[in-house]
Chain A
Amino acid sequence: MLLGEVNQEAGGNFSLQVDFSCKLLAKSHNSGMTLKDSSVSRRRFLKTSSATVAAAATCQIVPRHVVGGAGQTPPSETFGGALIGVGGRGPGTYNSMCRGLNVKQLALCDVKFVGRADNKKVYTDFRRVLERKDIDLIAIATPPHWHALISIAAAEAGKDVLCEKPMTRFIAEGRAVVNAFKRYNRVFQIGTFGRFGASGNRENIITHKIMRSGLLNPCEGVHIKSGGLKVKQWSGDPGLLPQSAPESLDWDFYCGPSPFKPYVRPRTGGTHRGYWDYEGGGLSDMAQHHFDPVQWTFGKDATSPVEIEAHAPPPHPECTGMWGWVELKYADGLTFAMDSREWGDRYTRKKERGVSLNDLSPENRKKVEAMPDPAKLLSFAEAVKTRGQAGGHAEAAHRCSTMLHLANIAIRVRRKIKYDPVKEEIIDDPEANRFVNPPTRAPWHA
């Protein structure tokens, strides 16, 4: 629905080709949007898409709910798909959603499509997409301040969702996403997949079992993410004079639940990452990639750190900026740390330390060795087909996002904070706790 993220992770510009035609669908299970080296620009795509849309209109698919029972799989096993947020991360997110499924792309939505939307295939308003009964699967690749609201609305509309990371802009909306997907029994998968590989590694499985057993307490394990969090690259550009928003962009809709601010170009198109109104800089973006599998390995998918401390300069009100390190401790003593290597002091409080069976008494070691291995994580496709829980499900994604939001809160308040992982509140610091659930702009409310 929104200006999608520029694919800076991939390191540059790209062109985009989308084909709604049945011909393409017949050739590929991964129908629809693909990243290609062709010279078809996004602008050209939008001009030509109306023609292909007309062709697609003759190709009807049977929505799975029409003939499906509890599993809701129609004989054709074809799913109607939509991409909301058609920017740099859009193609990758959409293709991730389609992997292993036969998906017919039925809609593209972005607030930058003003004047181009036909409300048949191309939309500016995600609500018009979600009310379509022939769409089953939604890929969300907007900036993060829209992730939770669109995910929740999609669940309310009975859709399954693959949502680009980071999952949320703040902690409380993550809990709202978890609740919505539980309430409607829909599938949610976060758009980072490292845990699927990590959970197949024998060493990680042993660590996972040790941690899940609860027998290692206190735990002296330390995991440090050193560098690679794009702190400078994705810090914001403050103090720019207001500009006129492009005519093709619905700026008010773009701001959505976040505070309405005058338009400046860096607030869109990938550099949005550097503004607190939309995201939390490189930390919340890149660290979800890094910590999602680590969180699985250390068995922390259902809880959060209890003490968080950071080394950072006074924060800027609008823009994410520099920080040195963040330390996050769990109730059992496990420590995660982030060392930016881009500003200030290095993290030297603790050294990296793994967890092994040798940390346990012989008796406890036997107990852990007797534990069955964790169940294989389901891919998004497997979860959609079986109505099971995807490996990167909402609770796990929320807990990982929470870790990163807590890191950013500690960076902003520059004092040690204590967190209650059950109530999901910062303890004894009402001002810091305001960042857990900041108000949103009406009518948007998770």
Chain B
Amino acid sequence: MPNEKVTQFAAQFRDPKDLKRQSNPNLQEMTAALDGLRAMGAKGVTGLVALLKPDAEGGDVHVRHALHGQAMRAGGWPEKDRQAFTKALAGTLKEDHPKSAKGFVIRQLQVAGGAEVTTALGGWLLDDELWEDAAQALLAIGGTADQFLKALPKAKGKQQLTTVQALGVLKINNAAERIRGFVTSGDSTLRQVAARALADMADTGAVATLLKAADTSKGFERIKQTGACLQLAENLLALGRKEEASRIYQHLRDTRKDPAEAYIREAAKTD
């Protein structure tokens, strides 16, 4: 049974189409509704989630608006209150709700969640429908390497691309050895994502692998693999690893003889 009080509060959030038609929607009413929902504690959160409908059904614009409005406010609350909100929200992922509704909940955790919800989110990294939402939430929250490292061995296809890219963004060096193997995979997209991830994490052990991948690939992949080499060199320089960076630059200067790649030779001149 829907919580009547929650339903009433959510009804204060009109369809933005209505806002367009009005010169001055009632900000006070909306704010009062969010205050009322907050005062209800976890029930205010679970009550809203219970009102979410599947994407294909619709009719819950006002509920989504209210829940998102609250998630955006939560970042400004005292830490204890924010965590109470996000824990209640994450708890609904265990309940029987439509997948698309859970996706929406995860996207609100991306806005307001912290370390307290990362385990709950990590469980969705290998889900057939929600892995991207979960990955993006975990990346936004940050400090979530464990979740991605745990998913990496089982991740396949697009989930694998997502996981490898995430480990690069988070600069998780202890995944480097495994990711180096992907640079020679049979999948061009995976090769490029893996090379960029290694560049992002400034993996000193990837210099030879990335140069070889850049030398042997063609077309757009050659462009991206060469880009990964230059990115790796810059990141190594930033860490003071001048010798490895110089090796990359020297190699690119020595091998890019085609006039069409003159700009690469120029880009590899760092001094």
Contact = CB atoms under 8 A, between A and B. Distances in A.
A357 interface: no
Contacts of B136: 259, 438-439, 441
Interface of B: 13, 15-17, 19-20, 23-25, 27, 30-31, 34, 55-61, 64-69, 72-76, 104, 107-108, 110-112, 114, 132-133, 135-136, 139-141, 158, 161-162, 164-166, 168-169, 189, 192-193, 196, 219-220, 222-224, 226-227, 230, 234, 259-264, 266-267
Q: Count chain B CB atoms within 10 A of each CB in A72, A158, A237 and give the residue with the most.
A: A158
A242 B54 CA distance: 11
Please classify the interface of chain A as helix (H, G, I), strand (E, B), loop, or mixed, using the class held by over half of its residues.
loop
Contact of B75 (A131, A236, A429): A429
Contact of B19 (A130, A242, A313, A431): A313
Nearest to A429: B75
Interface in A234-265: 235-242, 259-260, 262
Given A153-B224, A431-B111, 5 more contacts: A68-B259, A185-B267, A314-B69, A442-B164, A443-B189
Contacts of B133: 259
Please classify the interface of chain B as helix (H, G, I), strand (E, B), loop, or mixed, using the class held by over half of its residues.
helix
A12 B41 CA distance: 49
Contacts of A314: 13, 30-31, 34, 65-66, 68-69, 72-73
B139 A344 contact: no
A235 B65 CA distance: 14
Interface residues of A, number: 57
30 contacts: A68-B259, A128-B220, A131-B222, A131-B223, A153-B223, A158-B263, A240-B58, A241-B55, A241-B58, A259-B132, A259-B133, A313-B27, A314-B66, A314-B68, A317-B65, A317-B67, A317-B107, A321-B16, A321-B19, A322-B20, A322-B25, A342-B23, A343-B19, A413-B72, A429-B76, A431-B112, A438-B140, A439-B135, A442-B161, A442-B165
Contacts, number: 170
Contacts of B227: 156
In order of increasing CB-CB distance, the 3 nearest A-B pairs are A431-B75, A314-B69, A239-B61
Interface in A107-135: 127-128, 130-131, 133
Contacts of B76: 413, 415, 429, 431
A302 interface: no
Contacts of A158: 260-261, 263-264
Contacts of A343: 19, 23-25
Contact of B193 (A262, A431, A434, A443): A443
Nearest to A274: B16
B162 A442 contact: yes
Q: Count chain A CB atoms within 10 A of each CB in B31, B66, B223, B230 and give the residue with the most.
A: B223
A430 B262 CA distance: 42
Q: Count chain B CB atoms within 10 A of each CB in A316, A322, A431 and give the residue with the most.
A: A431
